Amino acid sequence: MTTTPWSQAHRILCVRLDYMGDVLMCTPALRALRESGDTPRHLALLTAPQSVAVAHHIPEVNEVIPYAAPWVKASVQQSPADTLAMAELLRSACFDAAVIFTTYSQSPLPAALMCQLAGIPLRLAHCHENPYQLLTHWVADPEPGQVIRHEVRRQLDLVASIGCSSDNERLSFRVDAKDADWAASWLHLSGIDKARAWVLLHPGATASSRRYPIHHWGRLTAMLAEQLGCAIVITGTADEAGLIDTICRAAPANTHSLAGKLSLGQLGALIEAAPVMVANNTGPAHLAAAVGTPIVDLYALTNPQHTPWQVRSHVLFHPVPCRNCYRSVCPEAHHDCLEKVAPERVLAAVVDLLTPSVAPLPATVLAGVDA
């Protein structure tokens, strides 16, 4: 690697102020940063408080700094003093460089200004407009006008602009031994034979536009039990317990709810142990990709950039003219992109993924999209 200011940067601040799935989709780029320096690098991740837990399972990250930035979605009220205090904390850490990861709809400039105030000499990001002194290195953002890339590829392209790459572009999530032991014990105590097929369902999602209809989940659980004889495990947050209870009331006997009962590490271990997972386009779907579990992704057509990355998958949706709406609530109120995905299609996808495959993983999961 040619010696450049970036190749000599040892302490790098990586900024991703989003949810778990967004952080996971940055992990190949984090690995490229870590592996491409002249010396071993120290990566610190500045991330939203709700993503701190997942950051602790990313081996490429040495340090996690939580920050509820006032310029991101669902932010809380902050005073200017809070932003200045964070800039001072970053200054005291003496970072050599900062890489700001964003989606194309987010501006990197507030984070860039904070990094400039912190005295971080090298600052990289995608940007739609000329950032002038706020970024020392910037990549003119071609999205969405010229190209639409997978979110993982977007971040890999960003760090490639400063000469960073890795032969391993898989997502990263470390399952700790204690969590793997817990998952094995729980499955045994629940009477689930790991040698037989069982299915993990994750019916929740933060945005209502990305949730497969609840009546379809009920029908799916019945078919899984009747036609495959599968045990069913349903996961979700405590806030999703009501949704999951409704599904369980219509579900067959061999259905187990773990809503609100798992740490993130336990969820990761259970997903890793699962023969197949069925989920909406949400963080645990990317966690499945990270640990290599085949997934049926019930993919609302809110955006095209977040399909499962480099894992056996079926991405199910119904084509609609309002696709790529980027909305958290269905703007047409019909939800047809998921409403019209029949549970029979989901069952067929599960059966296919339960069948061992000798085919190599696709370069991207787009080859697995079901139209």
pLDDT digits (tens, 9 = 90+) for 183-201: 999 999 999 987 788 999 9
Pick the CATH number of 182-370 from 3.40.1370.10, 3.30.1130.10, 3.40.50.300, 3.40.50.2000: 3.40.50.2000
Query: What is the C-alpha separation between 145 and 246, in angstroms, rounded?
Result: 42
Nearest CA-CA partner of 45 in 27, 28, 70: 27
Query: What is the C-alpha separation between 181 and 16, in angstroms, rounded?
Result: 31
The C-alpha R_g of the chain, in whole angstroms, comes to 21
Q: 11-160 has which CATH code?
A: 3.40.50.2000
CB-CB contact of 237 with 266 (8 Å): no
What is the predicted pLDDT for the residue at 14?
A: 98
What is the predicted pLDDT for the residue at 331?
A: 82
What is the predicted pLDDT for the residue at 52?
A: 96
Mean pLDDT of the chain: 91
Beta-strand pair 276-280/295-298: parallel
pTM for the full predicted model: 0.92
Alpha helices in 224-320 (DSSP H): 241-249, 264-273, 283-291
Query: What is the C-alpha separation between 13 and 367, in angstroms, rounded?
Result: 34
What is the predicted pLDDT for the residue at 355?
A: 86
What is the predicted pLDDT for the residue at 72?
A: 86
**Which residues of the chain does CATH 3.40.50.2000 include?**
11-160, 182-370
CB-CB contact of 136 with 350 (8 Å): no
Residues of the chain with pLDDT under 70: 1-2, 74, 357-371
Distances (CA, A) of 166 to 27, 108, 123, 344: 11, 24, 21, 40
What is the predicted pLDDT for the residue at 88?
A: 97
Q: Is 277 helix (H, G, I), strand (E, B) or coil?
A: strand
